[in-house]
Chains A and B, each alone.
Chain A
Amino acid sequence: MIEFKNVVKQYPNGTIGLNNINLTIGEGEFVVIVGLSGAGKSTLLRSVNRLHDISSGEIVVDGKSITKASGKQLRRIRRDIGMIFQSFNLVKRATVLRNVLSGRVGYHSTFSTMFGYFPKEDHDIALDALSRVNIREKAYSRADQLSGGQQQRVSIARALAQKPKVILADEPVASLDPLTTRQVMDDLQRINRELKITTIVNLHFIDLAREYATRIIGLRAGEVVFDGPVSEATDAKFAEIYGRPINEDELLAAEAAKGGVTV
């Protein structure tokens, strides 16, 4: 489904972002990537849809090399990959529905979308996507009137509207409180199971990773240092990935407890 072949990312200043990554992610997997900040999680994720270019190697998505693709071909591959961001990346002044519909533009020619008109099927797809994350009733609200958790669900709906085969989520819960974190993760899990969409998520909460993932990949300094099912990802293994014992702030449960005291 997604193959990384000898992927290397070197920044112009010489820093190695990714060092010889070889991975194969199968269809329908729920992969969580863990690691310290700066370990290359985000770079790895963003190289899948080429928001970041890699220096050498190749990434193949669903049999097509995105590394070699360009122009229209590249956009076609990207259309099949939905992405969810830490800061939601919604157009705040636009309505929820407009935001979700914008996920459909890859299906139409540039010219026909310039007037902002979408056919009825697109509206149905968008509303259906909103129903899946339980915020269909907010379809005509402005995005900036929604809470953080609701906005993140809108961005999940936008990704769903693409009818993707893969969903990438870059720290999707880092700006959310513990309660909404669970709702958003539940949504992602349900979508993964019901629609069989391959899902790759960057997380820094270890307990969350164990709870939702089918497979965990540990990164350290741009290299894969762990790759296996949840059952093998013991505390000792995490300590290895992080190069030190686990901190409290890497556990959602601890964050929630902290929140509970202060609130």
Chain B
Amino acid sequence: MNQSVPSSSRLPLIRNWIVGILLIVLFGWSLSAMKFEGIQEYGAQVMASIWEGFTHPDWDYVYLPEGEDLLRGLLETLIISILGTFISAFLCIPFAFWASSNMSRFQAVSGSGKFVLTVIRVFPEIIMAILFIVAVGPGAFAGVLALGVHSIGMLAKLYSETIEAVDNGPREALISSGASKLQVLRFAVLPQVIPQFISYALYRFEINIRSATVLGLVGAGGIGVPLLFALSSRNWSRVGIILLGVVILVTIIDLISGWLRRRII
């Protein structure tokens, strides 16, 4: 008894030390690749001008009568994320049923669906945006399509988890009342999953509004476009007001969406 206690409690300790040292080595190796030269080159004056820009945002940019201002940029960002979420919330439904293990008799069917969703998920939306720009030209529509397709990966996964968790009782009841397969789906499955679907779509909307702010960096519309101009021309006061606008927009959307989600569930 006395002999076994120390050895069994020391083993995980040794293992933890090895893991810890490995992690530190890994971290050190990673850090060694990051070159700090940037700071010395520009020095304090860049910092100062940035600070100056951020503390004195370009308020005039909020609204310009001739267009291309902050409000219109933010509105376009909002629209891109609304439409992108809307498209994916519907497109992902067939994918979700495909990937749900309780909707098909064979494991291979849902397994292949899950794999397709994983591939869509790891395909970054920025790359999707670039591909859609080639198809429909630069602009907000390309951004909408990029978000719409990319979001399918995550939304369909969440949807299929919801479908897998449905109570089978109502399905049984509908079948026994002589309902067809589609009617069973419509009256036993959908009423159970729709509120959860809407909640997940809103959650994805919160993510998409963030994504929509960066789509412009590759030319797919939204506030990212003027931000890129402001950054490359080192117009820090404009960068400041744009970032401020993004923070406010995203915060408001988070609050509204969170409130809606609490009401639905």
Contact = CB atoms under 8 A, between A and B. Distances in A.
Direct interface between A and B, CB < 8 A:
yes
Interface of A: 49, 51, 74-83, 85, 87-94, 98, 102-103, 105-106, 110, 113-114, 116, 155, 158-159, 162, 168
B172 A106 contact: no
Contacts of A90: 169-170, 173
Interface string B179-190: 110110011100
B141 to A, nearest CB: 30
Contact of B183 (A89, A105, A168): A105
B175 A102 contact: no
A106 B192 CA distance: 20
Nearest to B173: A89
Contacts of B170: 89-91, 102
Given A87-B169, A110-B182, A113-B183, A51 B176 contact: yes
B20 to A, nearest CB: 48
Contact of A105 (B167, B169, B177): B177
A85 B175 contact: no
Contact of B175 (A78, A87, A98, A162): A78
B218 interface: no
B135 to A, nearest CB: 33
A158 B173 contact: yes
Nearest to B175: A51
A152 to B, nearest CB: 12
B180 to A, nearest CB: 5
Nearest to A86: B169
Given A89-B170, A110-B182, A83 B176 contact: yes
A249 B262 CA distance: 44
A82 B177 contact: yes
Contacts of B167: 89, 92
B94 interface: no
Interface residues of B, number: 20
Given A89-B169, A93-B192, A110 B177 contact: no
B38 interface: no
A103 B177 contact: yes
Contacts of A79: 177-178
Q: Which of A78, A80, A155 has the most CB of B within 10 A?
A: A78
A31 to B, nearest CB: 18
B130 interface: no
A106 B174 CA distance: 9
A85 B191 contact: no
Nearest to A74: B178
Nearest to B166: A91
Nearest to B187: A102
B195 interface: yes
A31 B185 CA distance: 33
A88 B188 CA distance: 13
Interface of B: 167, 169-170, 172-180, 182-183, 186-188, 191-192, 195
B177 A93 contact: no
Nearest to A168: B176
A106 B179 CA distance: 5
A77 B186 contact: no
B157 to A, nearest CB: 22
B191 A114 contact: no
Contacts of B183: 105, 110, 113
Contact of A158 (B177, B180, B186): B177
B178 A85 contact: no
B183 to A, nearest CB: 5
Contacts of B192: 91-93
B177 A88 contact: no
Q: Which of A77, A83, A93, A105 has the most CB of B within 10 A?
A: A105
A85 B172 contact: yes
Contacts of B195: 93
26 contacts: A49-B176, A51-B172, A51-B176, A74-B178, A77-B178, A82-B176, A83-B176, A83-B177, A85-B169, A85-B172, A88-B169, A89-B170, A91-B191, A93-B195, A102-B187, A102-B188, A105-B178, A106-B178, A106-B179, A110-B180, A113-B186, A113-B187, A114-B182, A114-B186, A116-B187, A168-B176
Nearest to B196: A93
A57 to B, nearest CB: 20
A75 B172 contact: no
B191 A75 contact: no
Contacts of A83: 173, 176-177
Contacts of B179: 75, 102, 105-106
Nearest to B182: A110
A180 B167 CA distance: 24
B101 to A, nearest CB: 20
A74 B177 CA distance: 10
A102 B190 CA distance: 12
